[in-house]
Amino acid sequence: MGGVVYIVKLLIIRPIISNRKDELEEAIFHPFLSPGTEVEARRLMYGSSSIENEYDAALNTPEIIRLAVNGEKERFDGAIINCFVDPGLEAIREAVSYPVVGAGSASVQLALSVGHRIAIITIVPSILPMIRRLNAAYINTGRIISVRSIDVPVLAIYEDNLIYEKLFAESVKAIKEDGADSIILGCTGFGGIACKIATRLSDNGMVVPVVDPAGASVAVLEGMIRCNIRHSKIGWMSPIEKERRFK
């Protein structure tokens, strides 16, 4: 006798402007969804076409907040900020009550449960300071031991035929040179590659988990929803009412 399947609807916030269809982003998440979970992706109307530094993140954050707030009004069960540096996450958690996770922090939390010494492999050098700042607590305690870049811009990921090879090469260096025992792919544009990297590492005698930010985001958010857990409103207090003007 089959059980009842409850529908859970997640909002995927694409925190950039883009001509790439939302359906293509949704497809990256489909392999990780539990039965009864649906996703809908939405992109920004204004802002930068990629987030590779603090400037891009600051420029795009107002629109990211708008999408997240509208998602709660439209009764989505939760939202994912689909960027590894979690732009706007802290402000959004103040503004809303439904569960919201960032791809970066979700990936780190998952990696912390399966490894002791974590390495993050990301895109361009300009984003390294952001990742280090956001993860300073784990870096200072030795849980994150390296953050490496393959020096490929976000907008070039889908055109670069060597992305897989570059990620594999940096993963090997992180394991052999830095002493990593687990890997995080530090860009949501790398979605769907983690399993291939993990398999190739294993075939070469390096059996380590490789965390996919899309899969980690879904796992953490679905877990929060099914356990009826939301972020603390003492830790993220709601903004007081005052005059605010938006574009």
pLDDT for the residue 1 = 45
Q: Which residues pair with 169 in a beta bridge?
A: none
List strand residue ranges (DSSP E) for the chain, in order.
Answer: 8-14, 37-43, 78-81, 100-102, 118-122, 144-149, 182-185, 210-211
> Are the C-beta atoms of 199 and 171 separated by less than 8 Å?
no
Tokens of 191: 């979605």
pLDDT digits (tens, 9 = 90+) for 201-241: 999 999 999 999 999 999 999 999 999 999 999 999 999 99
Nearest Cα to Cα of residue 225 among 30, 77, 66: 77
Look at phi and psi of residue 109 and say left if phi exceeds 0, alpha if psi is from -120 to 50, else beta.
alpha
Nearest Cα to Cα of residue 210 among 181, 188, 187: 181
> Are the C-beta atoms of 210 and 195 separated by less than 8 Å?
yes
Question: Nearest-5° angle of CA 24, CA 29, CA 30?
Answer: 90
Residue 195: which H helix or E strand, with range? helix 194-203
pTM of the model: 0.94
CATH 3.30.70.890 is right for the domain spanning 105-213:
no
> Are the C-beta atoms of 82 and 10 separated by less than 8 Å?
no
Tokens of 26: 């949704």
pLDDT digits (tens, 9 = 90+) for 134-162: 999 999 999 999 999 999 999 999 888 99
For the chain, which ranges sit under pLDDT 70? 1-6, 247
Look up residue 96 and give its amino acid. Answer: V
Indicate the class that CATH gives domain 8-103+216-226. alpha beta
pLDDT for the residue 191 = 86
Domains 8-103+216-226 and 105-213 share a fold: yes
pLDDT for the residue 46 = 96
Q: Where do the domains of the chain lie? A: 8-103+216-226, 105-213
Task: DSSP letter for 5, please.
Answer: P
